[in-house]
Chain A
């Protein structure tokens, strides 16, 4: 049976199903069909009559597309209130993806809601024949995302870190990550999470001489690389086209990704 194709340049609404709440602020739902998305790519979800917002692709198994979001504003609140059978628009997939290449030992690092696209990244690493190492972090144990699905991948190693110490290592996940890299086996790190975490992960990977791919998030508007809202750095990198996944080398050459974020109007907000 041919799968329903969900990939589209413009929003098309579909009926959602299997709507679930995963953590206090994270919800997910599924749509029947496939986007043929690669790990790390994003879609823009449209709540008709309200707003459009970027969502993470958690899974795209060829039969069902699973999307997740973190409730933070009006649009995500509206999505959180939706029920199975309601219509949500989807366009995408957009942007660059995590690429395991020929790496033999890949560390997949997810902080907080940043873990959302990393399950797919882990699967991509396994599909490329690499051994998978998972580093998962969150504020506390109930904020950990996809712990069981990551465990189900049977990773070669799995470390958890929580800020409050309610599970695993107490403190930032960069500490256990650094210990993992010190072992000398990891040849690629893939990471997604809050800006401060990403900056710290970048430093650790750079110091240990390990290549990394980081998913950088900024305000996205058009998704086509036209409007300029997501442009960062002196190099004029468009994060909806040349990102969100970028190499650590590129990340470290763009001063502003570590110092400020722009809002949708171009105003700088320092971290």
Chain B
């Protein structure tokens, strides 16, 4: 059966995507994942135009049940973006989504102007890092005027490169926010970012363990939230906007589930810890085996499958 897809002009051998923030800073990491680990599409670490210090360590806590992180979006700025993307583009083993971040429209435009000339296959506008709560008290998606302005400005700077928006699940209305992002010009939606925020306390010292105290929750435990959010977004955008779905994907069946909810491509991040960097190829293989057993000839048939099933019964999702 066919696992390959072309979404927003990106053709990939299988629908797995590296989630932003995981092994995503340097070209060597991207290259390893794309050439040896079966990763279909690479998403870079979220990049700032200027140097941005992240949080002091500890920034990540991983146990089998979940991962908690408050890395704080550290980045070396334009010089790192140019060096790493430039290096990767010499052979570009898989499509590259350049994830960009900022605190306001100008910040986003500044970094977009650095990366666009390097010709990534898409831009991912990070509107949903929990670090925003620390840096400005709220997500960027809480003010429609603000996020529409950012999307519009990035679209202009993108000069035709597709612009995706990454959304947080920690809102009461993710479907509606997605719809408004699309109305503002977004070509695709990436969902979900981390859940929470959450926290961990050390018993003897009685101190929060993460230096930022609170952090985003990811890993297997968040999959049901991802599935529901993707379904909300698919319904709100009438299935017309490509969705990169992620959140707790560890196996091929998890990937199939997120696709049935509405994802065209499926992101993987935290599962690298449990299954290694090879998780992408493993998930792709498991997805292929499952599809073949079910008589599914092309993986794209899965996208939105739940919505069609509900509609066929006269009980649409929304």
Contact = CB atoms under 8 A, between A and B. Distances in A.
Interface of A: 9-15, 44, 46, 48-53, 87, 89, 221-229, 231-238, 262-268
Interface in B21-67: 21-33, 45, 51-54, 56-63, 67
Given A9-B62, A265-B74, A52 B200 contact: no
B71 A227 contact: yes
A10 B24 CA distance: 23
B22 A267 contact: no
Contacts of A15: 204
Given A10-B62, A44-B58, A236-B32, 12 more contacts: A9-B62, A10-B200, A13-B202, A87-B205, A222-B60, A226-B269, A226-B273, A227-B21, A228-B45, A263-B76, A265-B53, A266-B74
Interface of B: 21-33, 45, 51-54, 56-63, 67, 69, 71, 74-77, 79-80, 83-84, 200, 202-205, 207, 209, 211, 269-270, 272-273, 276-277
Contacts of A46: 57-58, 202, 209
Contacts of B30: 236
A14 to B, nearest CB: 7
Q: For A13, A227, A233, which residue has the most chain B Cβ atoms within 10 angstroms?
A: A227
Which of A10, A236, A263 has the most chain B CB atoms closer than 10 A to its own CB?
A236
Contact of A231 (B29, B61, B75): B29
A12 B204 contact: yes
B207 to A, nearest CB: 4
A44 B57 contact: yes
Contact of B52 (A226, A233, A238, A265): A265
19 contacts: A52-B57, A52-B211, A221-B60, A224-B62, A226-B62, A226-B269, A226-B272, A227-B23, A227-B59, A227-B60, A228-B25, A236-B33, A236-B277, A238-B23, A238-B277, A264-B74, A265-B75, A267-B77, A267-B80
A175 B204 CA distance: 49
B28 A236 contact: yes
B184 to A, nearest CB: 31
Contact of B273 (A225, A231, A266): A225
A203 B83 CA distance: 28
A90 B252 CA distance: 35
A228 B24 contact: yes
B70 to A, nearest CB: 11
A14 B202 CA distance: 10
**Among A50, A221, A226, A231, which residue has the most Cβ atoms of chain B within 10 A?**
A226
Contact of B211 (A51, A228, A229): A51
B31 A265 contact: no
B60 A226 contact: yes
B79 to A, nearest CB: 7
Contacts of B276: 225
Contact of B56 (A9, A51, A222): A51
Contacts of B31: 234-236
A50 B76 contact: no
Contacts of B23: 225-228, 231, 236, 238
B207 A267 contact: no
Nearest to A222: B60
Contact of A267 (B51, B270, B272, B273): B51
Given A13-B202, A87-B204, A264 B54 contact: yes
A172 to B, nearest CB: 30
Nearest to A9: B63
Nearest to B71: A227
A51 B207 CA distance: 12
A48 B207 contact: yes
Q: Which 3 A-B pairs have CB atoms at the shortest separation, nearest pair first?
A: A236-B32, A52-B57, A267-B76
Nearest to B204: A13
A225 to B, nearest CB: 7
A235 B26 CA distance: 11
Contacts of A233: 28
Contacts of A225: 23, 272-273, 276-277
Nearest to B74: A265
Contact of B79 (A228, A232, A267): A267
Nearest to B32: A236
Contact of B26 (A13, A51, A231): A231
A51 B54 CA distance: 13
Nearest to B47: A266
A263 B59 CA distance: 16
B80 A265 contact: yes
A57 to B, nearest CB: 18
Given A11-B202, A225-B273, A266 B209 contact: no
A268 B53 CA distance: 15
A222 B29 contact: no
